[in-house]
Structure 1
């Protein structure tokens, strides 16, 4: 795995746990939610999303590795169209996740100190 992927998995383990990461049903629901939110952020409507879902689900299930590659290409195109470095955006998200964890840990430490 790449350095980014390793760091992202480390953050996921810290926030939701390894068992949840390995749960395919949970992964696909969380992914679909993020994809729909990106679609919405780009101006997509619920009606468009529904039509796309119907069209996609009417074809045979593809191979995960091939679709993951296709997805990365589409994300690169979206980044290009919106002048966003997708890798930098991904690292920014990792940094924000670790900052949230640090804030929570600081709060827990302060709470323990008050309780002592």
Structure 2
């Protein structure tokens, strides 16, 4: 795993506890919430969100690795259009959150 992935998993584990007993499907709601945060931050209209869900359900279901790749590609495009480095943005957030979690202990 990459350093950014390891740090991200460490943060989730500090906040939520061990992930050993969690299935990938258990993360689906959290992922959708964070995805919607980005959708709205990019200016996506709320009225279009429900339609997008219906359209997505009508397509063939992708394998997880293909869906993850698609998300990373879209993150790169959104980051580029917003003139930010997506990895640096993640590191900045992780550094703040990990420090905050450590200071709670």
TM-score, normalised by the number of residues in structure 2: 0.91
Alignment of 1:10-25 (within 5 A): 10-19=10-19, 22-25=22-25
C-alpha deviation, 1:71, in angstroms: 0.7
Whole-angstrom distance in 1 between the partners of 2:55 and 2:88: 32
Query: Which protein has the bigger helix share?
Result: 1
- Provide the residue aligned with 2:76 in structure 1: 76
- Provide the residue aligned with 1:27 in structure 2: 27
C-alpha deviation, 1:15, in angstroms: 1.2
Q: Which has the higher contact order (CA 8 A, sep 6+)?
A: 2
- Provide the residue aligned with 2:4 in structure 1: 4
* Structure 2 unaligned blocks of 5 or more: none
C-alpha deviation, 1:20, in angstroms: 7.5
* Structure 1 unaligned blocks of 5 or more: 106-116
C-alpha deviation, 1:21, in angstroms: 7.5
Whole-angstrom distance in 1 between the partners of 2:4 and 2:13: 14
Of 21-30 and 2-11, deviating more is 21-30
Cα pair 1:13 1:21 within 8 Å, conserved: no
Of 83-92 and 5-14, deviating more is 5-14
Whole-angstrom distance in 2 between the partners of 1:7 and 1:103: 17
TM-score, normalised by the number of residues in structure 1: 0.83
The 1:56/1:4 distance shift into structure 2, 3 A limit, reads same
- Provide the residue aligned with 2:54 in structure 1: 54
- Provide the residue aligned with 2:44 in structure 1: 44
Whole-angstrom distance in 2 between the partners of 1:54 and 1:88: 33
RMSD: 1.6
Count residues with an aligned counterpart: 105
